[in-house]
Structure 1
Amino acid sequence: MSFTITFFKIVTILLSIVGASFAIPLAVAFAYGESSVYLVFIIPMIVSFILGLAVNLPTRKMKFSMNTRQTYLIVALSWVVSSLMGTVPLYFSGCFNSFADALFESISGITTTGSTVLSEVESLPRSINMWRCLTHWIGGMGIVTLTVALMPLLGVGGFQLIKAETTGPEKGKVTARITTTAKILWGLYVGLTLVQTLALKIAGMDFVDALAHSFATLGTGGFSTRNASVGAYNSASIEIICTIFMFLSGVNFSLYFYVVSRKFRDISSNSELKAYIAIVVVFIAAVTISLKSYYGGIGKSLRYSSFQVVSLLTTTGFATADFIKWPAAAQFWLLLTYFIGGCSGSTAGGIKVIRWVIVGKQIKNETSLMIHPRGVFAIRLNGRTGRKDIVFSVVAFMSVYFVLLMITTFAGCVANLDLWTAFTGALTMVGNVGPAFGLLGPTSNFGFLPDLLKYWYCFAMLAGRLELYTIMIFFMPAFWKK
């Protein structure tokens, strides 16, 4: 009984937070006189507040705790409920052809995937476009993390909630209190969003577009208010600003706290950050060289390659060019980014840089062991010797990741997609990237897919966003045994 109350307390608080966020697109609707969509925001907002008050006022003095099983259940269902809440204004606005389309768009937004079923986004009400981009921002830092930040009553079990939601093989607290940690991370998140919005406004975007693209950038989502994405502006300054903030969003947000607290040694010794920077530099150089003859010079090649490499590596998914028309060598390097992703603790998706760092260090150790059979070799992360069991954790995660990738590829093949489209479509769903290759390239959309495949893709996006285990654990019989 206590768990049931706990569950409804957390979920209704979460719904109230999502409902409160409707105020931003509603303000846009009022500003542009989009009266046809007023109620699709107002009604669910009011209902969510009523539910929140009805459940939480009578139980406000109750203390509660959660075990591990209940924590995973609450986190997974919180994301499902939030996705359904996000679907409401999309579906009832009449802008989508079916519930499956509206649900796909909502889950794609909240999981920061950025794949869309729409072929024409510029004809949407600006408030609906704002909501699409705002879902990235809410899901980027994590809707459960936001709940913990705003509701100190979740201090008991708060770390378990965030641990079940956040990304990467190692999870820890920036500060001693998890609610303080969540507030600091969200404060940094809001600050970066405001800075980018101002920069984009100065660079030529109107305020609404600047805010929407900042939401999509900091959440590493990739929804845009323009059909041609960021490329529609044909502005080098806008592209540079987005590239910088996409890169920053792909960094572990804990490192920004270290900047504020002047812990520069922790930043300079961070193994993942050094690998992340190296990957970005190498990949941009490789794609630039591959595009030199295509664009007729280094300058233009560097402009397009840097934007696209950072966009796909951080799983943002913005586009300034149709990269499936690029030379095969350039496409090869872009394809590799789908297998990497951003840093752990960032808003980016994918396997994460830290896991590849651990794999690389373990390969080095195994090679050294062959040369020195009696040697003792350990993985060093951030200048310290890491836990030995972390290698097994990484291998297990990557195994599950590639199994889900293969199953999702097969689902695409069953739905009559060609193998290349099905495979890259699976990559973009599980990795929360956005555009794929083939029929699902950056100038295409997912609207033509059958509804059953869209529903499976919804599952794959949620599983990828929650680092697989939070979703996959429900399919294990042991989870349901007492």
Structure 2
Amino acid sequence: MNYKMMGRFIGKILIVEAVFMVPAMLISLWEREFAVVRAFMWTLAAILVVVGLLMWVCRGSKNKFYAKEGLACVGLSWIVMSLLGCLPFFLSGVMPNYVDAFFEIVSGFTTTGASILPEVENIPKGILYWRSFSHWLGGMGVLVFLLAISSMGGNDNGYTMHLLRAESPGPNVGKLVPKMRKTASILYLIYILLTVLDVFFLLLGEMNLFEAVCTAFGTVGTGGFGVRNDSIAGYSPYIQNVCTVFMFLCGVNFSCFYLLLLRQFKNVFRDEELRLYVGVTVGSILLITLNLKGFYDTFSETLRHASFQVVTIMTTTGFATTDYELWPGLSKAILLCLMLIGASAGSTGGGFKCGRALLVFKSLHRSVQKIVHPQKVQVVRVNGQPIEEKVLQNTNAYLAAYVLAIILSFLLISVDGFSITTNLSAVFACFNNIGPGFEMVGPTCNYAMYSNFSKLVLAWDMLAGRLEIFPILILFSRTTWKHR
């Protein structure tokens, strides 16, 4: 295990975090929120001390990086980033309980949107900005950002690919172009373009600049932290529709946008995962719209709320325009299923992923065919290309870990004594990075009633779900920390 190089890399991640805290501190200074300014200053000082120690202790590190180091480095980076990133919440007094502050920032970085705050409209703007920006930073991934802006010292010996695979969602990650740094740059340029366009269209709806920027961070990062107590419900139908469109777009695999820029339209339209994502979304909207007949005054209002809630749940964003807890049972059951499916691989959304679900269905079909025709060679194909057995094995392993983690987390937080629906939906919502669940963690509620222990369990769920389980699990393996 190359501890020194891991330490230096975590130090670089913390520098990125510190740089991105500065705008939040300047907003607090502009708003004359001096207690918040002091909180950011103390946080920046703490980060600089940690970075200095890491760089001094890890000086003279060797550029040798393997898959094990990549997984461990990603897991540790997100944990350390959260431990320090929550300090402005805690030191400013907005969240006097450190566990609450940690839960909130983990929810932000993992784009979950689960909150312990009963109301947000009286919170200082600097804190609101940092809280919303954490979605944007975690949406594409802070390590991907670092790879995009840094050459990583010339010859990286392939370790950047280990980092990208560990942080990027989906069953398989490849390069858009031969150079890893250029791939990361392309991903972030697309991400920034979508954010700018979202802000532009929100401003056209007469939303003020601060709210437009914070809402765009939550929409494009598929996070869900709002700046109003009623989330998106108090905004105009136009703004709600803009959010629906951009949430949907950011649930698409970003490689599809790159192919569109290259005018490879046929390859995009033939993408099986995209077709599954669109089909499930459209089908769910139609079913819920029919099920809600007569629930709202007009058909257009029904369609708008159905579309928004389907997209916000499937892309794991977590915004709300209505209290879906009041919907009929079928509509809520569809939303629960969408929580498990999630968005596309290679998007900013969470969940099990459409790409992974597609592989599971195709593997199941092959297994059935082998029973009927045991001598026939069956190859799983996606988009006409054969899928390696290693990818299928990893998908099955992920499914097993996914189910076990959810069961264990459900049992652990059930100690608090809340209802089965509340606890199970809380685990689903946190592990799949959605945010709101049902009953006591529904769209009009929050997670404040859980004990510190349960909040830490749910924070673990959020991190494991965002990083696809293994970068977090590997930290608990003794073999990880053995020297080569």
Q: TM-score, normalised by structure 2?
A: 0.94
Match of 1:179 in 2: 181
TM-superposed deviation, 1:321: 0.6
Distance across 1 between alignment mates of 2:164 and 2:59: 22
2:4–2:59 Cα contact (<8 Å) kept: no
Q: Decide whether aligned partners of structure 1 residues 295 and 42 sit closer, same or farther in structure 2, where only a CA change above 3 A counts.
A: same
Q: How do 1:2-401 residues align onto structure 2 when only pairs under 5 Å count?
A: 3-49=2-48, 52=51, 64-153=63-152, 156=156, 157-233=159-235, 235-401=236-402
Encode CA deviations 1:245-279: one digit per residue, 9 max, x unaligned: 10111111122121222232331221111110111
Give the letter for the 2:184 counterpart.
A
Q: Decide whether aligned partners of structure 1 residues 253 and 47 sit closer, same or farther in structure 2, where only a CA change above 3 A counts.
A: same
Give the letter for the 1:142 counterpart.
G
Give the letter for the 2:295 counterpart.
Y
- 1:404 aligns to what SS in structure 2? helix
Match of 1:449 in 2: 450
- 1:226 aligns to what SS in structure 2? coil
Distance across 1 between alignment mates of 2:4 and 2:274: 41
2:5–2:62 Cα contact (<8 Å) kept: no
Encode CA deviations 1:189-247: one digit per residue, 9 max, x unaligned: 111111101111111210000000111111111000011001122x1110111011101
Encode CA deviations 1:388-431: one digit per residue, 9 max, x unaligned: 34333222211110111111111121111111111111101111
Q: Decide whether aligned partners of structure 1 residues 327 and 462 sit closer, same or farther in structure 2, where only a CA change above 3 A counts.
A: same
Distance across 2 between alignment mates of 1:189 and 1:370: 45
1:294–1:327 Cα contact (<8 Å) kept: no
Q: Which stretch of the first structure deviates more once superposed, 4-13 or 69-78?
A: 4-13
Distance across 1 between alignment mates of 2:67 and 2:218: 32
Q: Which stretch of the first structure deviates more once superposed, 363-372 or 207-216?
A: 363-372
Q: TM-score, normalised by structure 1?
A: 0.95
2:72–2:474 Cα contact (<8 Å) kept: no
Instruction: Identify unmatched segments of 5+ residues in structure 1.
Output: none
Q: Which stretch of the first structure deviates more once superposed, 107-116 or 19-28?
A: 19-28
TM-superposed deviation, 1:386: 1.9
Distance across 1 between alignment mates of 2:54 and 2:462: 30
The alignment of Structure 1 onto Structure 2 pairs a total of residues equal to: 480
| Pairing 1:465–2:469 present | no
Distance across 2 between alignment mates of 1:49 and 1:97: 23
1:91–1:98 Cα contact (<8 Å) kept: yes
Distance across 1 between alignment mates of 2:370 and 2:150: 50
- 1:116 aligns to what SS in structure 2? coil
Distance across 2 between alignment mates of 1:97 and 1:46: 20
2:310–2:335 Cα contact (<8 Å) kept: yes
Q: Decide whether aligned partners of structure 1 residues 225 and 389 sit closer, same or farther in structure 2, where only a CA change above 3 A counts.
A: same
Encode CA deviations 1:363-387: one digit per residue, 9 max, x unaligned: 3334444554543332221222222
| Percent identity of paired positions between Structure 1 and Structure 2 | 32
Higher RCO (CA 8 Å, separation ≥ 6 residues): 2
TM-superposed deviation, 1:299: 1.5
Q: Which stretch of the first structure deviates more once superposed, 63-72 or 471-480?
A: 471-480
1:250–1:314 Cα contact (<8 Å) kept: yes
Q: Decide whether aligned partners of structure 1 residues 257 and 46 sit closer, same or farther in structure 2, where only a CA change above 3 A counts.
A: farther
Give the letter for the 1:164 counterpart.
A
Give the letter for the 2:185 counterpart.
K
Q: Decide whether aligned partners of structure 1 residues 363 and 63 sit closer, same or farther in structure 2, where only a CA change above 3 A counts.
A: closer
Give the letter for the 1:117 counterpart.
I
Encode CA deviations 1:89-129: one digit per residue, 9 max, x unaligned: 11111001300110000101011110000001001011111
Distance across 1 between alignment mates of 2:434 and 2:189: 25
Q: Which stretch of the first structure deviates more once superposed, 44-53 or 291-300?
A: 44-53
Q: Decide whether aligned partners of structure 1 residues 125 and 342 sit closer, same or farther in structure 2, where only a CA change above 3 A counts.
A: same
Q: Which stretch of the first structure deviates more once superposed, 313-322 or 45-54?
A: 45-54
Distance across 2 between alignment mates of 1:319 and 1:354: 26
TM-superposed deviation, 1:62: 6.5
Instruction: Identify unmatched segments of 5+ residues in structure 2.
Output: none
2:198–2:246 Cα contact (<8 Å) kept: yes
TM-superposed deviation, 1:180: 1.1
1:109–1:221 Cα contact (<8 Å) kept: yes
